[in-house]
Amino acid sequence: MDAKSPHIKNRDTPPWGLYQRNMFWRYNDRELPPFNTHPDVLERLASRKLSQNGWLYASSNAGLSHTHLANRQAFFRHKLVPRQLIDTNERSTRISLFDGKWEVSAPFGIAPVGINKIYHDQGELAVAKAAGELGLVYSLSTAGSFPIEDVGEANEEGRANRFKANENLDVDGEGSEGGNENSKKVPEAPRFFQLYMPHDDKLTLSLLKRAHESGFQACILTTDTSQLGWRHDDVATSNYAFYRGIGGELGFTDPVFQKRMAEAGVDPQKDAVKAASMWIDTIWHGRAWSWEKAVWAREKWQEIAGKDKLFLIKGIQSVNDAKKAADLGFEGVVVSNHAGRQVDGAVGSLDALESIVKAVGERRGFTVMFDSGVRGAADVMKALALGAKFVFIGRLWIWGLAIMGEEGVRHVLRSLLADFDILMNVMGVRSVDEIDASLLESGPRVYGLLNEKSKL
C-alpha cells in the first residue's frame, strides 16, 4: 500500500493494509515479522510451543474429522471473481452490526474459545486486550480460564488504548507518521458473553449478571455442546484440562458456584482437580435443553441487562432451527458446527449458511452470523458473499496466542485486517455492503471426503 496516497485521509477506517508495508520495511531495520501467518505454518509453530495435551485439545476434532474437512471443502467450491477498474482508494472495512447498534473495524471478530490459559499464561486477557485495541468484537466463553470481570477489564484496557496502539498507521499522505490521525478511526467494538447454560438456574443467572456488570453487551447461547463430542486423540490420552485442575477460574470466582463448592465441601485452593471437575460438570453436563429453556435464558438476560441487549443462538446448522429461532424472537443465530469438534460426518458450516440465509436472511431484526473453518480473508469474504453479516474467527488467533502470547494474537489479527483490506482493494470492493453472491462462481455441492489427517 502507498503510504503517500492522498486518499488515506478520506477513509473511515485506518489503512490496515499498511501493516504489510510495515512488515516489508522491517528488513531495513534489521528485523523480520514476528512469524509467518500462513495457517499451515501457524499450526506447526503452535504445535512446537504447546504440550502434547495442549496441542491435542486445540487441534482435535470429532470422530474421523470428516466435518472438519467438510468445513474446508465447502469453501473450496466457491471461487472469488475479481472486478477491475473500480475506484477502491477510499474503501472501508468498517461495518455496522445489528442495524447500526455498533460500529466495528471489520466484519470479523473473536469467536468464544474455552480455557485459553492452556495455550499461554496470558490466556483470555491477551486476546480481549488485542481485540479492544483493534476495534474488533471479542467473545468470552463460559469455559474461560480467567474471571469474567478480569477479562472485561482487559478488553476495556484495549479499547482505551486503541488510538495509541494504532499510531503507526497515522501517515499523513506524504508517508510520514504523525499526520492524519487514522488511529482515531478505530471504533469501540462491543464484547459478547457466550453462555454454556448450567443445569443450575441460579448459577446461570449469576453468570449473566456478572457478564452484564462487566460490560458484556450481548449474550450468545451455545446449543451444540452440552457435552463434548467424541474426540479420539483426547480420549486416548485422558486429555481433559478441567479434570486435571486447569481452567476453572471463571467458575471459582462466581458467588453461586462458591456456595455450591462450600456445600459440597470442595476447596479449590486445596483440591483444584475436584473443584474444576465440579465446575465443568455443571456447564458441560450432557443434559439436553429445549427451545423453551432457551427462551427463558433470553428473557432472564434481558431482565438483567435490559430489553435492548441482544441474545443469539450459536450452533445452528438446520434451516428449521434457524426459522424457529427467528419465530421465537431471538435477535440472530451463529451458523456453526463448533469447527467440526462435536458431530462427525455433518454438513459443512458454509453449506449450512447458504441454506439458512435463503430461509431467514431477510427477516427484519434477525442477523445471521457465521463460524467454523475460516482460515483467512478470502474465507471471510466468501461467507459474507453468501449472506453472513459477521464472521467469527477461532483457531488462527489461538495459534498466535500459543506462539507469542498477546503479541502473537495482535500480529495474527493485524495481519488478518491487512489481508482483508488488501483483498477488498484487489477484488474491486469499496465497502462490505458490496460483498454479495455476484463476487462468487460456485460449483455444485458434490465432493468426496478424502482420507486426511486432521489439519488446521
Question: Measured between alpha carbons, how far is 456 from 375 in angstroms, rounded to an integer?
Answer: 8
Q: Which is it for the CA torsion 35, 431, 369, 307, positive or negative?
A: positive
- Is 231 annotated as a binding-site member? yes
The answer to the question of whether 222 is labelled as a binding residue is yes
114 annotated among ligand-binding-site residues: yes
Q: Is 258 annotated as a binding residue?
A: no
Helices (H) and strands (E) in the chain, counts: 17, 12
Nearest to 283 by CA among 186, 366, 207: 207
Yes or no: say if 125 and 146 are a contact pair by the CB < 8 Å rule.
Answer: yes
CA gap 37, 91 in Å, rounded: 24
| 194 appears as a binding residue in the annotation | yes
User: What are the distances in angstroms from CA 334 to CA 72, 112, 389?
Assistant: 18, 12, 10
- Work out the burial of residue 447: count CB atoms within 10 Å of its CB; fewer than 13 is exposed, 13-18 middle, 19 or more buried: middle
Q: Which of 78, 120, 212, 338 is catalytic?
A: 338
Q: Is 341 annotated for ligand binding?
A: yes
Classify each residue of 150-166 as buried b or exposed e, where b means 16 or more C-beta atoms within 10 Å of its C-beta.
bbbbbbbebbeebbebb
Contact 78, 359 (CB under 8 A): no
Q: Is 336 marked as binding a ligand?
A: yes
**Can 338 be counted among the known catalytic residues?**
yes
d(CA 165, CA 26): 18
Q: Is 196 annotated as a binding residue?
A: yes
Distance CA 77, CA 94 (A): 27
Q: How far apart are CA 151 and CA 127, in angstroms?
A: 9
373 is in an annotated binding site: yes
User: Measured between alpha carbons, how far is 283 from 336 in angstroms, rounded to an integer?
Assistant: 19
Provide the terminal-to-terminal Cα distance of the chain, rounded to the nearest Å. Answer: 29
Sign of CA dihedral 444, 80, 322, 124: positive
C-alpha cell at 218: 450481548
187 marked as part of a ligand binding site: no
Complete edge-to-edge strand list for the sheet that includes strand 391-393: 108-110, 391-393, 367-370, 332-335, 310-316, 218-222, 191-195, 138-141
User: Cell numbers 459440597 label which residue?
Assistant: 264
Provide the strand spans (E) within 337-421: 367-370, 391-393
Q: Is 332 annotated as a binding residue?
A: no
Is 360 among the annotated ligand-binding positions? no
Cβ partners under 8 Å of residue 296, min gap 6: none
Q: Binding site for FMN: what residues are annotated?
A: 112-114, 141, 194, 222, 314, 336, 371-375, 394-395
Please identify every residue annotated as catalytic: 338
Q: Binding site: what residues are annotated?
A: 57, 112-114, 141, 194, 196, 222, 231, 314, 336, 338, 341, 371-375, 394-395
Q: Binding site for glyoxylate: what residues are annotated?
A: 57, 196, 231, 338, 341
